[in-house]
Structure 1
Amino acid sequence: MTTHAVELPELWMPHPLRVNPHLPGLRAESEIWAREMGMVNGDEERPSGQAIWTRRQFQAMTVDQLTAWTLPDASPADLRLNHRFNIWALAWDDYFASAFKRTGDLRGALAFTARLHAFLHPEAGTPLPEPVNAVERGIADLQQQLFPPRLAHWRQEFNRAVARYIDAGVEELANSRSGRVPHLIDYAPFRRESFAAHTAPYSVELSTGARIPERIRNGRTMRGLLAAFMDVMGLANDIASYEREVNEERDVNNLVVVIATSLGIPLREAVPAAVHLVNTRMRDFEQLRRDESVLLDGRSRLQHEERAELEAWLDGACSFLSGLYAWYTGAPRYVSADPPPERGHRGDTETFSPVSPSAVGLGADAQP
């Protein structure tokens, strides 16, 4: 299937990009950790042994920028911790794609995933299994660090989110093997799992030190806001990674393909439709953040401290989305060899072109 020139609307991002001041030095520190875990080797053309990346490949992903852009307020220690988790999540993704998705090895994927589950449920102080590869070594090391006392309440929920992330990889592989394209109605909640989006509220809390007040977290407004927050992350990623996932990995688990199949339209029409859908979810997030949260405050009669924490967490969530958008549109992982797209301003609104037009087979005349 090929696409032809279409008018491509821009992904909408109403929040300015902010950068954590502790970005310098983050890449070197994280590369040492990735080497210790066995994820990175030297500058060879291909990773040797069980390594997932060469040094050149690792540096090209600019994961340090991703972390510093999404968590602009994090302390050095918290930034480093979340950075290592980001590296691990990408290591799992690339290893799984290379070892199982490209070979169609469902049985191997099931065995690999079953072993990873053993690293995700131990109580504090419980011995972990002996890691046998870079992905297992990474998650085993992170389990010793992810839950300091102030975030101990996240242990069960965070590990459950990671378990859903790796299980979703197996389901994606099964879909690709059978050629089954998920239906649009089912896809958004599934994408929250396959993107590990349920871990993102933890990252925001880690960065800001603020928690969503417990008594409103499971209410309708906050559930809707969190769903929109997670949808923007994962669905925008589908647009950015369309070229790699669909053309290189032959993956059917992508919003563009899902829309084209579910609605019975050509891929060239599904691309702008996907952008419109992501923009709609961004508007949903903004409406809930600006308007519904005020009503929620009135209904719930939040205390001053609770209201301040909610506002700080929401500000952190906005920065998280802005940082992700910037990374999608500038990182070599998603952008072709063409120059990265320019960022434009319209009043107080910052917009990003989702990917260079050539990266998804679109014409160079794409318009906002």
Structure 2
Amino acid sequence: MTVRAVELPRLWMPYPLRVNPYLSALHEESESWAREMGMLAGGEGPPDHRPVWTRSTFHAMTVDQLTAWTLPDASLADLRLNHRFNIWALAWDDYFASAFKQTGDLPGALVFTARLHAFLRPEQGARLPEPTNAVERGIADLQQRLFPPRLAHWRHEFNRALAKYIDAGVEELSNSRSGRIPHLIDYAPFRRESFAAYTAPYSVELATGARIPEQIRNSRTVRALLDAFMDVMGLANDIASYEREVNEERDVNNLVLVVGTSLGITLHDAVPAALNLVNARLRDFEHLRQSELPLLVRRSGLDHEERAELETWLHGAEGFLAGLHAWYTGAPRYASSDAPYPT
């Protein structure tokens, strides 16, 4: 049985889709950086570099739409920067899947991942290794661009999030090789890492120019809100990509499989259960946003400017979730298996 054979509840998305006005400019230059990094067949990378995509495959992913839909408030310069990061993250994902997941090459994956760690240097101007493939070339280039002066505080945090992302790929491969399906209790925190969700607050901050105020950033309420924000992203992706990951790539790291195995239920029941779990995490985000966060703001004594900055960041986070939902339900990257839930 496949996901599209199951009658599904609707994925709840209370936030409207907003589109960045610079989408057309992004579309015009969408492949230039990927080609320069050697990610596209026939690109400008060294001839011994293995390309990640054909030109048609790359454009079918509509990464420009993903970026413009998730960051509707970003300036053109910040949109371009995050666009390159999105391209790199998808390049890592597809390269890792074809080179290591599909072959089961765990030793090769460990070597590849160890080399990538050498590129994640928090020191500004640090000397990086010489890239040997398109993924390394991309991250080396991004390390020179990702940390504009106003966001220098993110250098350690963002690279730490990237380290979690690439390390999670090795753990996913190990699970698939052994046939070990993660347990539901452990899976949501792990999915935040394997989806690179810890980078998303940086993307929202880049787009909006706003930060969560220091006084409340490490509070229980804000940590819970960020966890729910990240869970919606990664867990919804699992449902959208179920056919691709499980039926084509034989991956076991997917919420639908996790729910079915952990609860001992069939796919017919696991699919709506997984969707309801995603909806529940979005309801958690909304409850924290509307009910608990205002109480925290009052108790913490945030001034007018700090409250306005928090509201700007939250509005950006809502736009991010709405944009991801639109991309999941409409992108050709997932459309080969039909949209797994109504749009």
Shorter-chain TM range is: over 0.9
The answer to whether the 8 Å contact 2:117/2:163 transfers is yes
Distance 1:15 1:56 in 2: 31
Say if 2:8 is the partner of 1:8: yes
Query: Displacement, 1:259?
Result: 0.3
Distance 1:220 1:129 in 2: 39
Residue 243 of structure 1 aligns with which residue?
243
Change (3 A) 1:135 1:164: same
What SS does the aligned partner of 1:25 have?
helix
Say if 2:259 is the partner of 1:226: no
The answer to whether the 8 Å contact 2:164/2:196 transfers is yes
The answer to whether the 8 Å contact 1:4/1:268 transfers is no
What SS does the aligned partner of 2:252 have?
coil
Residue 182 of structure 2 aligns with which residue?
182
Identify unmatched segments of 5+ residues in structure 1.
339-354, 358-365
Distance 2:340 2:278 in 1: 17
The answer to whether the 8 Å contact 2:113/2:167 transfers is yes
Alignment of 1:337-356 (within 5 A): 355-356=339-340
Distance 2:116 2:6 in 1: 43
Of residues 1-10 and 73-82 in structure 1, the stretch that sits farther from structure 2 once superposed is 1-10
Under a length normalisation based on structure 2, what TM-score does the superposition of the two structures give? 0.96
Distance 1:297 1:224 in 2: 15
Distance 2:118 2:340 in 1: 41
Alignment of 1:191-210 (within 5 A): 191-210=191-210
Residue 75 of structure 2 aligns with which residue?
75
Under a length normalisation based on structure 1, what TM-score does the superposition of the two structures give? 0.90
**Sequence identity, in percent?**
78
Query: Displacement, 1:4?
Result: 8.2
Query: Displacement, 1:303?
Result: 0.9
Say if 2:229 is the partner of 1:211: no
Query: Displacement, 1:27?
Result: 2.7
Distance 2:312 2:150 in 1: 17
Residue 321 of structure 1 aligns with which residue?
321
Query: Displacement, 1:28?
Result: 3.1
Counterpart of 2:287, as a letter, is Q
1:68-95 per-position Cα deviation (integer Å, ceiling 9, x unaligned) = 0000000000000000000000000000
Say if 2:162 is the partner of 1:142: no
The answer to whether the 8 Å contact 1:41/1:48 transfers is no
Change (3 A) 1:187 1:25: same
Distance 1:281 1:73 in 2: 24
Change (3 A) 1:225 1:201: same
Distance 2:330 2:281 in 1: 22
- Name the Cα RMSD after superposition: 1.7
Change (3 A) 1:5 1:32: closer
The answer to whether the 8 Å contact 2:49/2:133 transfers is no
Residue 288 of structure 1 aligns with which residue?
288
Q: More helix by proportion, 1 or 2?
A: 2
1:236-273 per-position Cα deviation (integer Å, ceiling 9, x unaligned) = 00000000000000000000000000000001110000
The answer to whether the 8 Å contact 1:122/1:128 transfers is no
Distance 1:152 1:3 in 2: 43
Residues paired across the two proteins, number = 340
Distance 2:64 2:6 in 1: 34
Change (3 A) 1:133 1:13: same
Distance 2:6 2:145 in 1: 47
Residue 31 of structure 2 aligns with which residue?
31
Residue 107 of structure 1 aligns with which residue?
107
Distance 1:2 1:151 in 2: 44
The answer to whether the 8 Å contact 1:336/1:356 transfers is no
Distance 1:6 1:113 in 2: 37
Identify unmatched segments of 5+ residues in structure 2.
none
Query: Displacement, 1:7?
Result: 2.6
1:269-306 per-position Cα deviation (integer Å, ceiling 9, x unaligned) = 10000000000000000011111111011110101111
Counterpart of 1:133, as a letter, is N
Distance 1:112 1:175 in 2: 18
